Structure 1
Amino acid sequence: MDTASESRIIIPRIKPSCTQCQRSKKRCDRGKPHCSACVRYGRECVYLLRDDSMSVSSVETASLSPAKAPQDSEESPHAVFFLDSVLFRRSMNRLPELELSFKDPLLNFIGDFTSDRDFVHLYFSTLHPSIPFLSKKKFMERILNPLSPPRPASLLLIATMKLLADQRPEQGPRCKAYYSIKSSLLEAESSRSLELRVLQAIILMAVFEVGHAIYPAAYLTVGYCVRYGSALGLHKAVERYSEEGFSVTESEERRRSWWVILVLDRYMNLGCADRAFLTADPSKNSILPIDDAIWEENKEMNAPVRRLFEPPTTAMGRFSLTAQSAILLGNVFRSIHEPPFSEAFWQNDVKVLDSTLVALTSVSLEEGRHRGIGVCSPSTICYSGRLLLHDRERYAVDEFPFAATENFLPQDFKRDIAAGMLRLANAILSSGCCTTDEITPFCVEAIYRGAVFYGREHSRTGNLSDAAACATIKEALNEIGKRWRAATLYAQMIDARIVTGIL
């Protein structure tokens, strides 16, 4: 490099600039610089000396920064994934895998899962039958395989499974393990990774928080599931049998994961029906989960494809019925929120929806008897849906004036539902009849509503048998509370209703 060129780089060049528009400046006839923008708008140029060496220096420093380029490189696949999906699919088509280092508290909680697998057996024998969205065969072969080192996403899934399987945590639900997993899930999000196993861990965390009434965390975690699942494209898995790039088994697992999210999203709003659920209803042609027995045997290729428009049968399996009950629950929410065209139209719509809930309940109860299931989540969700549909207090009086009349709808079914919940309570309290392991978080709300019914009847008539029924159900809720803390809270709310007279 010659001396002249070297001096041009080192010696700063001073240029006048216009502070009105910060543009570079031509020379006018009088030798003063001016800019075209100021001339166009009739402004007088105001000059300021600018040191180009500063801008050159900053640009050179930024371009030579060793940390900036790798950071941009790491973020580009994730940014392209969201900003231009076509470009991503045709050029990259795969996001980087999760890279995460776990802290000692979480690693100590997980332990040596290759030798100590009691929690795995406990999870698959208790919670899994009612929410079977994990492929047990793939889990055992790939995640628990001692020949392959566990990936971070797999460890997160294992940790949440163990948290759910621990039925009596010494420190309560908000234990150190709970906060360690929540922290690791946040770090996984910060790592810019999107993986199905991470989503499944978040789903299990949502089930844990719903079951133990950890609010508002449960509500926010379910919303996180919706967004994460949508980013992975799981909402499309319910619309097609086989997805490009995925085997039949993988598509079924993705499909089931989305159905669990949809069920959680609907169930979350039972206590406060004014909240809008986040997931859109699948189309009538959407594919339901295959029969659970076929899923457990890993024979997806031979399973008949069931679609949402088909009438429910026991051959569909419990989880498929659970998915359908969630769809009907969503219809109930719409029925109590969307103002009808007329009273006659609304009455007919409610009667049709009620009949559909009754039909699905009957199939679910038959499914339970056929497969030896003490209590089925589809039945209790349908019970909750019917009670919500016929609850006058849930309707806005100004939009549904006819809902407040005495001839609203026949109320006899409420006693039938309450009687069913009383029988379930007696079975739970009777040794060996129905264990709390068979109760899922999706069952507890209907049990609570049964107790409220008996409490209201006792307040109205003074009948001692109603008071005894209410006390029995409350006792059963406290027993369930040893497994799911939400049930204990429901029992406390029964006491609050009775003391305050809010029945």
Structure 2
Amino acid sequence: MELPLDRPRFACAACKRLKKRCDRREPRCTYCLRSANRGISPPSETASRQFEDDTTHFPAVYFLNSDLFQRSIGQLSSPPVTLAPELQSFVRNKSNMRDHATSYFTKIHPWIPFISKRVFYEGVLSSFMPTPAEHVLLLAAVKLVTTSPTTQDARSMIYKHIKAMFTELEVIGQLTLKTLQALTLLALYELGHAVYPAAYLTIGLCARYGIALGLDETVRGIMQSSWNMIDLEEKRRTWWAIVILDRFVHLGCPEKTPVTAEPTADSVLPMDDQLWDTNTSESVHTLSSPPTPTMGRFGLTVQAGILLGKALRNLRDSCSMPQGPSRTLQDDEAEVLENTIFALAKVSSEEARARGIGICGLTKMCYRQSNAEEKDLYIASQMVHIGTLNDTLTYPGTQEEVSPFLLDAVYRSAIIYMQEYVSTGSQDLLRGINEFRSALEKINGRWKAAGIYLQLLEAHDTTNILR
């Protein structure tokens, strides 16, 4: 019996799965007939499901041809994720999470402010919508970094679950800002608790992840069409936070090269924190802008981090370069860096007094890279006012506000005092050494890396290797 010519077209089961059309008027659909003529069997249920599953994977065109991606797909989607029950349980209590969020924005955010407080409370901590995987991960990272480990080993089970979650997100191809921010907090946790080599490797992963998202372009003033000014500032701050961590992690191994590229003089700095909080625009500051208190604390911190990178590069090049004209140029650069660091530290101190900023230490840690050995003792005394530091650390809750960026400065200052004490036997220097030790003991209650620095000081005492 011949079918009516006006019967509607439709897809058979196999062709529908492959988004093909077939015609009911034929005993078998056109696709199936062609497949049969070529000796190819119609796709099985398993093969069809595999094809459909592949459409939810990360689009390889994002990396294989980025221009084609922008013109065809345009934006990345978030694939479905199965969360570990341990992670869901870790952040389920909203009241508890709000306490950790308050702790984070009070005690950590001031010295590395790269997560928008407004976006976090309204979009991540909000209980008015289902919590996506990236938000759960960020909440877990916030809680992790605000919780002091109960033992010297910070590799807790929840830490391992968070690490495993990042691996799963990498496998399924999730690239989002919130995931990167959670990864950056994990790197900060590993750095502060001396979880190596994980800290070193995680910071490198953060850099690659940020580049994949295009965050490195934000400091060059490039703005994609999908970014508004609030998004742009948060992305820019996240990238600068990664750059700072990448410089800091090389303090003890200056012979290694940072992952992130050296910023240029016209690289855009983050705006003042108060202006960011109120979404108020201001004139743009760049790395070539002279440091002023109006630049904002995070802008000054970024400048300190970049100077640290330059000082480490100068030290690395000087150690590998023989005497000659090039070495003289390296020494001249070292002197310029030293003067710039001193000027920046002065401005930072004014900013701290004006706004009541707590202990940071990032600008101070640049001092120890100076090649002017005759100034070492003066530099050490200026890095950390040891009596003031210990007095400050006795106040309730103050240890929670201490940045791990301070630790290397305390440790290097103690070494300089120990060197001088061996030569002079001064009791004032001995008291200073004990003050530094006491400061590290107190900070160890918050950041376990302080305990590792104490062990290094003991090793210096035992071996008399004072370098």
Relative distance call for 1:167 and 1:298 in structure 2 (3 A) is farther
1:80 & 1:342 partners in 2: Cα distance? 45
CA deviation map 1:433-455 (0-9, x unaligned)? x9222311111101111111111
Q: Which residue pairs with 1:203 in the alignment?
A: 184
CA deviation map 1:178-204 (0-9, x unaligned)? 111111111111111100000000000
Task: Return the letter of the residue paired with 2:422.
Answer: S
Relative distance call for 1:141 and 1:71 in structure 2 (3 A) is same
- Structure 2 residue corresponding to 1:457, chosen from 420, 429, 437: 420
Q: How does 1:129-168 map to 2 (within 5 A)?
A: 129-168=110-149
Answer whether contact 2:210 2:216 (CA < 8 A) is retained: yes
- Per the TM alignment, residue 274 of structure 1 is displaced from its structure 2 partner at its CA by 0.7
- Structure 2 residue corresponding to 1:218, chosen from 192, 196, 199: 199
Give secondary structure in 2 for the equivalent of 1:255.
helix
Give secondary structure in 1 for the equivalent of 2:298.
helix
- Per the TM alignment, residue 234 of structure 1 is displaced from its structure 2 partner at its CA by 0.2
Task: Return the letter of the residue paired with 2:374.
Answer: Q
Percent of aligned pairs with the same residue? 36
Task: Return the letter of the residue paired with 1:349.
Answer: E
TM-score w.r.t. the length of structure 2 is 0.85
TM-score w.r.t. the length of structure 1 is 0.79
Give secondary structure in 2 for the equivalent of 1:310.
coil
1:410 & 1:175 partners in 2: Cα distance? 42
Q: Which residue pairs with 1:260 in the alignment?
A: 241
Pair 1:295 & 2:276 matched? yes
Q: How does 1:362-401 map to 2 (within 5 A)?
A: 362-383=346-367, 387-390=368-371
Bigger radius of gyration: 1
Task: Return the letter of the residue paired with 2:325.
Answer: F
Q: How does 1:43-122 map to 2 (within 5 A)?
A: 65-75=47-57, 78-113=59-94, 116-122=97-103
Pair 1:311 & 2:280 matched? no
Answer whether contact 2:380 2:416 (CA < 8 A) is retained: no
1:116 & 1:255 partners in 2: Cα distance? 26
- Per the TM alignment, residue 129 of structure 1 is displaced from its structure 2 partner at its CA by 0.7
Relative distance call for 1:239 and 1:342 in structure 2 (3 A) is closer
- Per the TM alignment, residue 114 of structure 1 is displaced from its structure 2 partner at its CA by 5.7
Task: Return the letter of the residue paired with 2:338.
Answer: D
Q: Which residue pairs with 2:460 in the alignment?
A: 497
Q: Which residue pairs with 2:343 in the alignment?
A: 359
Relative distance call for 1:455 and 1:227 in structure 2 (3 A) is same
**Which deviates further from its counterpart, 423-432 or 147-156?**
423-432
Task: Return the letter of the residue paired with 2:455.
Answer: Q
- Per the TM alignment, residue 428 of structure 1 is displaced from its structure 2 partner at its CA by 3.7
1:151 & 1:128 partners in 2: Cα distance? 23
1:197 & 1:501 partners in 2: Cα distance? 47
Question: Where does structure 2 lack aligned partners over 5 or more consecutive residues?
Answer: 1-37
- Per the TM alignment, residue 296 of structure 1 is displaced from its structure 2 partner at its CA by 2.3
**Which deviates further from its counterpart, 91-100 or 129-138?**
91-100
- Structure 1 residue corresponding to 2:329, chosen from 317, 331, 345: 345
Relative distance call for 1:57 and 1:241 in structure 2 (3 A) is closer
1:478 & 1:113 partners in 2: Cα distance? 33
1:169 & 1:98 partners in 2: Cα distance? 36
Pair 1:488 & 2:451 matched? yes
Q: Which residue pairs with 2:306 in the alignment?
A: 327
RMSD: 2.2
Task: Return the letter of the residue paired with 1:229.
Answer: G
**Which deviates further from its counterpart, 308-317 or 346-355?**
346-355
Relative distance call for 1:428 and 1:58 in structure 2 (3 A) is farther
Give secondary structure in 1 for the equivalent of 2:59.
helix
Task: Return the letter of the residue paired with 1:488.
Answer: G
Relative distance call for 1:86 and 1:59 in structure 2 (3 A) is farther
